[in-house]
Amino acid sequence: MVARDRERFNCQACRFHRHCDDSNPAGYPMFAIPEIGLESRTCLLPMVTDFSRQLLKSYGHYKNGLLPLAGGMLDQPAIFGEAMEVIDAQVNRLNREEREG
Q: pLDDT digits over 22-74, tens only?
A: 898 999 988 887 878 889 999 888 888 889 889 999 999 999 999 999 999 99
Residue type, 38: L
HSE value, Cβ hemisphere, 13 Å, CA-based, for 71: 6
Whole-model pTM above 0.95?
no
**82 confidence band (pLDDT: 50, 70, 90):** very high
Q: How many angstroms separate the first and last alpha carbons of the chain?
A: 17
Q: Give the residue from 93, 95, 96, 79 showing the smallest Cα distance to 32.
A: 93
**How far from the centroid of its chain's Cα atoms is residue 23's Cα?**
22
Does the structure show a pLDDT above 70 at 90? yes
> Where is pLDDT greater, at 73 or 94?
73
Q: Which stretch of DSSP H or E encloses residue 54?
A: helix 50-63
